[in-house]
Structure 1
Amino acid sequence: MTERATGSPETNENDILAAGGTPSGHPLHKVLSFVRRSGRLDTRLQRAWDAFAERYLLDVNAGEGSLDVRSGFVFDQAYVREVWGNDNPLVVEIGSGQGENVVAAAAAHPEVNFLALEVYDPGVAHTLLLAGKQELPNIRVAQVNAPELFKVMADGVAAEVWTFFPDPWPKKKHHKRRIVQEELAGEIRRVLADRGAWRIATDIEDYALHVHEVMDGLEGWRNEGGLTVSLPTGHVGKGNAELAAEMPHADFEESARFDGRVLTNFEKKGLAAGRIIHDFTYRKV
C-alpha cells in the first residue's frame, strides 16, 4: 500500500510466513515489499466490503487469503473490455492505501479506467467504500501482490502506473524489499503502452536516491524531470539518517508535483513535519 502501508520495517521470518512467503533460507523464498498482518474490519468497513466487493473487487486470487494470482489468469485488453466495458486508457495504482487518491482520480476522469492494487483488508474496504458511495463505474480493486499481477498482464495494456509514498523500509538491511526494483521496472515497462509513464512519489530522501539508482540508467526509460534537486550520494538507514547531511551530495532531475495526485492527509502530515516531496516521471521509450 502506498502511504507507508506497503510494508512494515519490523519484519521477521514469522511475518514472511504469515504473508504467504517463505523464510530467507528456503529455496522458494520470495522477497515481499509488505508484511501482511491481520487487519480486522470495524463494523463500518465490513458493511462496505459486504455492499461493494461484488461490484468492485476483482476475482483474480489463487484462493481465499492468498495474495498470489490464480493459475492461468491473464489480464489483457479483452479482460479490461469485459470488466470495465470499454477500451479506455487504464491507470494502475500500486498500493492504493485508503483509496483517497485513486478514487478522486476516478471521479475526476470518467474517461479513464482505474485499478487499485492493495494488500491490506482495511485499505481495500475503505477504497470500496469511497468508490461505492459515489457509484463510480470506472474503478476496480485487486487485493494481490502487485509484482505477481504485473507478470500476467499483457504487453501495452496500461497507460500509466502510479506508486505514491511506498513503504520506505528504512533499515538498510531491508532496502531490498522496496517496491521500486529493476525487475518490477522491467515488467511495468512491458505492460505500459508506448510512451506510457510510471509516476512515483516519496517524502523520504533516501528512498528518492534509491529510485534514481534503480531507474535513471535503466534502458528503455527516460527521466522526464525538469527540476534539479540535491541528494546525498550515500545511503543511510533507520537510526543514522542524520548522517546524510554530512555526506557528499549530487544533483538529480526530478519532476514537479503531479497534478493528478490529491493532497491526502498523509502527505499533509509529511509537509507539516518539514519533509520534502520527491516526484518522478519515468517515460517508456
Structure 2
Amino acid sequence: MAQNLQLDQEAADRIWGRRAPLTVEIGSGQGENVVAAARRHPERNYLALEVYRPGLAHTMLMAGKEGLTNLRLAQVNASDLLEHLAVNLVDELWTFFPDPWPKTKHHKRRLIQPALADAVVSCLQVGGLWRIATDIEDYALHIHEVLDNHPGLRNLGNRTVRLPLGHVGKGTAAMAEDMPHGDFVESKRFEGRIVTNFERKGMQAGRTIHDLTYQAVAVG
C-alpha cells in the first residue's frame, strides 16, 4: 500500500458498496469465524486480514458457497495495513489465537505489541471493541502486560483469572506452576466466535481458552 494511501470511510463505502459497521479480523486463518459472522450478520461489513494464501483461498471458497457480499479479504501483514486505516473507521477488531511464538527468545515476535495497540486504538471508533482469544497462558499474560494499562483501552473483563507472573516458553512451561501468581480480569467467551478445529484441538489438549475484550476510549 502506498505510503500516502489511506482507507477512509469514503473508500470503504466504495469497496463494500454501502456504509455499515466494519469488523476487521487480524489473522483470519481458514476463515471459519469471519465467514460465519458475515453470514449471521449481513447488516455488517467484514474485512479478513491474512498473510497465508491457502487460508485466504479457503475463506474465498466458503464465502463463495454462501454467496456473501459483505466480506472482503486482504493478503497483508496487519501491522502494515492498520496504520493506513482512517481514525474511527473500525467498529470491532478481532484477533483470535495469534501465533504464540512459544520459544522465549521469540516472544518479541508476537503480534500484540505496543505499536500494534496504538494502531488499533487509532482506527477503532471510541466505544469500539477489540476481541482477543488465546489458548496459551503465557500469551494471555503478555496481552495483559501490553494492553491493560494502555491509555486508549479499557479492559471490559467480568471474571477473575489467576496467571503466573513470570514468562515461560517452550520447554520451560512446567515452571509456571511454581511461580507467584496474580489476579487478572478477562471476559466470558465471545458468543460470536465459533469453535474452530484449531480451538477444539487446544481444548482437547487441556489448554484453557482466554477471552479478552478491550474497549477504545477517548484519550485526553
Q: Are 1:200 and 2:128 counterparts?
A: no
Unaligned runs of 5+ in 2: none
Classify the secondary structure of the residue corresponding to 2:92: strand
Report the AA paired with residue 222 of structure 1: R
Q: Are 1:132 and 2:43 counterparts?
A: no
Q: Which residue matches 1:186?
A: 118
Q: Which residue matches 1:78?
A: 10
Q: Which residue matches 1:213?
A: 145
1:169 is aligned, of 82, 101, 105, to 101
Structure 1 residues 6-61: Cα deviation after superposition (integer angstroms, max 9, x where no partner): xxxxxxxxxxxxxxxxxxxxxxxxxxxxxxxxxxxxxxxxxxxxxxxxxxxxxxxx
Q: Are 1:267 and 2:196 counterparts?
A: no
Offset at 1:111?
Answer: 0.5
Task: Write 1 or 2 for the structure with the bigger share of strand.
Answer: 2
In structure 2, distance between residues paired with 1:226 and 1:86 = 35
In structure 1, distance between residues paired with 2:58 and 2:130 = 25
Structure 1 residues 236-266: Cα deviation after superposition (integer angstroms, max 9, x where no partner): 0111110000100001000000011011111
Report the AA paired with residue 245 of structure 1: E
Q: Which residue matches 2:31?
A: 99
Classify the secondary structure of the residue corresponding to 2:129: strand
Report the AA paired with residue 239 of structure 1: G
Q: Which residue matches 1:13?
A: none
Classify the secondary structure of the residue corresponding to 1:199: strand
Offset at 1:142?
Answer: 0.3
Classify the secondary structure of the residue corresponding to 1:97: coil
Q: Are 1:230 and 2:156 counterparts?
A: no
Classify the secondary structure of the residue corresponding to 1:190: helix
Offset at 1:135?
Answer: 1.1
Structure 1 residues 188-242: Cα deviation after superposition (integer angstroms, max 9, x where no partner): 1010111001110000000000000001111121100001000000000111110
Classify the secondary structure of the residue corresponding to 1:174: helix
Number of corresponding residues:
217
Q: Which residue matches 2:85?
A: 153
Q: Are 1:116 and 2:116 counterparts?
A: no
Report the AA paired with residue 137 of structure 1: T
In structure 2, distance between residues paired with 1:254 and 1:280 = 5
TM-score when normalising by structure 2: 0.97
Classify the secondary structure of the residue corresponding to 1:252: strand
Q: Which residue matches 1:253?
A: 185
Q: Percent identity?
A: 60
Classify the secondary structure of the residue corresponding to 1:189: helix
Offset at 1:70?
Answer: 3.3
Offset at 1:79?
Answer: 1.0
Which structure 1 residue ranges, 4+ long, deviate > 3 Å from structure 2?
A: none
In structure 2, distance between residues paired with 1:252 and 1:199 = 16
Q: Are 1:239 and 2:177 counterparts?
A: no
RMSD: 0.7
Classify the secondary structure of the residue corresponding to 2:25: strand
Report the AA paired with residue 124 of structure 1: L
Report the AA paired with residue 160 of structure 2: T
Classify the secondary structure of the residue corresponding to 1:148: helix
Offset at 1:87?
Answer: 1.1
Classify the secondary structure of the residue corresponding to 2:28: coil
Offset at 1:72?
Answer: 3.4
